[in-house]
Structure 1
Amino acid sequence: MTAAEETVRGVLAANLKRVRAQRGLSLSELSRRAGVGKATLSQLESGAGNPTLETVLGLSRVLGVPISDLVEARPAGEVTVVRAADTEVFSGRGVDLRPLRRIEAGDVVFEVFDQVVRIDGTQISGGHGGTEHTVVQAGRLRVRAGRHEVELGPGDYIGFDAALPHSYTAVSGEPVRSVLLLQHRSEQRLHLADPAEGQAPPGPAPGHGH
Structure 2
Amino acid sequence: MDAGGTSRAAPGPASEPSEVGERLRRLREARGVSLSALARAAGIGKATLSGLEHGTRNPTLETLYAVAGALGVPLTALVLAPGDPPGSAADVRGAAVTATLLEVFSEPQATFELFWMRVQPGVVQHSPAHAPGVTEHITVHRGVLRTGPGEAPLVARAGEHVSFRADVPHEYATVGPEEVVANLLIRSPRAL
Do the structures match in fold with TM over 0.5? yes
1:179 partner letter: N
The answer for the alignment partner of 2:36 in structure 1 is: 28
The answer for the alignment partner of 2:95 in structure 1 is: 93
- The correspondence for 2:137, drawn from 133, 137, 151, is 133
1:136-168 Cα deviation digits (max 9, x unpaired): 121111234476554322221111222355332
Structure 1, unpaired ranges of 5+: 189-210
- 5 Å-filtered alignment, 1:190-201, equals none
Sort the Cα spacing of 1:5 and 1:146 in 2 relative to 1 into closer, same or farther, 3 A: closer
Quick check: which has more Rg, 1 or 2? 1
The answer for the alignment partner of 2:190 in structure 1 is: 186
Sort the Cα spacing of 1:87 and 1:44 in 2 relative to 1 into closer, same or farther, 3 A: same
CA RMSD of aligned residues (A): 2.7
Q: TM-score, normalised by structure 1?
A: 0.73
Deviation at 1:97, TM superposition (A): 2.4
Q: TM-score, normalised by structure 2?
A: 0.79
Is 1:169 matched up with 2:169?
no
Is 1:11 matched up with 2:19?
yes
Counterpart CA distance in 2 for 1:153 and 1:178 is: 10
Question: SS of 1:32's equivalent?
Answer: helix
121-130 or 58-67, which moves further after superposition?
121-130
- Tell whether the 8 Å contact from 2:13 to 2:59 is kept in structure 1 after alignment: no
Count of residues paired in the alignment: 181
Counterpart CA distance in 1 for 2:91 and 2:111 is: 21
The answer for the alignment partner of 1:72 in structure 2 is: 80
- The correspondence for 1:62, drawn from 52, 70, 73, is 70
- Tell whether the 8 Å contact from 1:4 to 1:87 is kept in structure 2 after alignment: no
Q: Which of structures 1 and 2 has the larger relative contact order (alpha carbons within 8 angstroms, sep 6+)? A: 1
Deviation at 1:179, TM superposition (A): 1.1
The answer for the alignment partner of 1:45 in structure 2 is: 53
Identity of aligned residues (%): 35
The answer for the alignment partner of 1:109 in structure 2 is: 111
2:38 partner letter: L
The answer for the alignment partner of 2:5 in structure 1 is: none
Sort the Cα spacing of 1:116 and 1:27 in 2 relative to 1 into closer, same or farther, 3 A: same
105-114 or 61-70, which moves further after superposition?
105-114
120-129 or 11-20, which moves further after superposition?
120-129
1:93 partner letter: A
Question: SS of 1:187's equivalent?
Answer: coil
Counterpart CA distance in 2 for 1:126 and 1:147 is: 14
Counterpart CA distance in 1 for 2:106 and 2:69 is: 19
Deviation at 1:106, TM superposition (A): 3.2
1:88-146 Cα deviation digits (max 9, x unpaired): 33322322223333210232210122211111212234643311100112111123447
